[in-house]
Amino acid sequence: MQDDTTIDRDGDAGCSTAPAAGRTKDPGTGHPRPPRREFKARGSFVSRCDSCQLPALNCLCPFRVTARSEAKVWLLTHPLEHYKPTNTGRLIGDVLTDTEVFTWYRTAPDERLLALLDDERYSPFVIFPDDQPDYADRVVGMERVGASRQSGRVPVFIILDGTWRQARRIFRKSPYLDRLPVLPLATERRTRYRLRKPASAAHLCTAEVAIELLRQAEDAEAAEVLDDYFDAFNDSYAASRRHEKLEAPTAAMRRLLKRAAR
């Protein structure tokens, strides 16, 4: 989740990078979608790596390391987030390759997501603050995650990937989420995300939410890898905005390179 006062300096008007002619595909499902107008926002002419989507000046690919976790992450992503190069949800999928990504549409819920929510193998939790009384009966703590694991079910963290305003809309306008337990993230972590300006240091970006959830669920190695990968992303992108090439890897990058060499 990102703060809704964000201004993406690299430009994003919710537009696909595909040309206007022809049809585009939904980034989450691959299903055909109507054409969108050509991407011409600020930053659209930056030369980017086709894989990591970062400016080619400081490509993130050399530092990509995968990890395994017992808990799973499913991202329910607002359509506009797919096209923001500063979106951190994709970092989770880079590290945890079994991450599921679903695009949220208010009137057309993803059928595969609905099927997975009914799959007895999984124990899904919606990650959302416990700040309103009308769903207080659904709020649970991290101990429920441990109980699910002990019962043989796979804990799943459903993270609403968008600005805080978008996340609240997803939460309120998705009836299929109403029957799921709500897990608020209790953490003292302050955001280290530098690419968008939060209203509060307590507002974590999507990747940071996943990092803290994994830590609390005792998936320590996955949390450490994702945290280092997030820092590498942060530093690489920030340097590219200044049109600077990182001449030496940061401490987080060196740890990732060491893991990759194992």
Q: What is the 3-state secondary structure (H, E, C) of 111-169?
A: HHHHHHHCCCCEEEEEECCCCCHHHHHHECCHHHHHHHHHCCCEEEEEEEECEHHHHHH
Domain count, the chain: 1
In a domain, 31, yes or no: no
Q: Quick: pLDDT tens for 153-170.
A: 999 999 999 988 999 999
In a domain, 122, yes or no: yes
Question: What are the structure tokens assigned to 51, written together?
Answer: 């894989």
In a domain, 137, yes or no: yes
With bands split at pLDDT 50, 70 and 90, how would you rate the model's confidence at 203?
Answer: confident
In a domain, 168, yes or no: yes
In a domain, 204, yes or no: yes
Q: Please, how many CA atoms are within 13 Å of residue 121, restricted to the half-sphere of its CB?
A: 5
In a domain, 147, yes or no: yes
With bands split at pLDDT 50, 70 and 90, how would you rate the model's confidence at 82?
Answer: confident
The pLDDT of residue 208 is 96
With bands split at pLDDT 50, 70 and 90, how would you rate the model's confidence at 39?
Answer: very low
To 10 degrees, the CA torsion angle through 219, 204, 109, 51?
-70
The pLDDT of residue 202 is 73
Angle, CA 233 vertex, CA 40 and CA 167 arms, to 5°: 70
Quote the DSSP letter at residue 219.
-
In a domain, 27, yes or no: no
In a domain, 127, yes or no: yes
Q: Which domain holds residue 99?
A: 42-260
Give the C-alpha separation, 195 to 232, whole Å: 13
What's the average model confidence in pLDDT over 211-232?
Answer: 97
Q: Determine if the pTM surpasses 0.95.
A: no
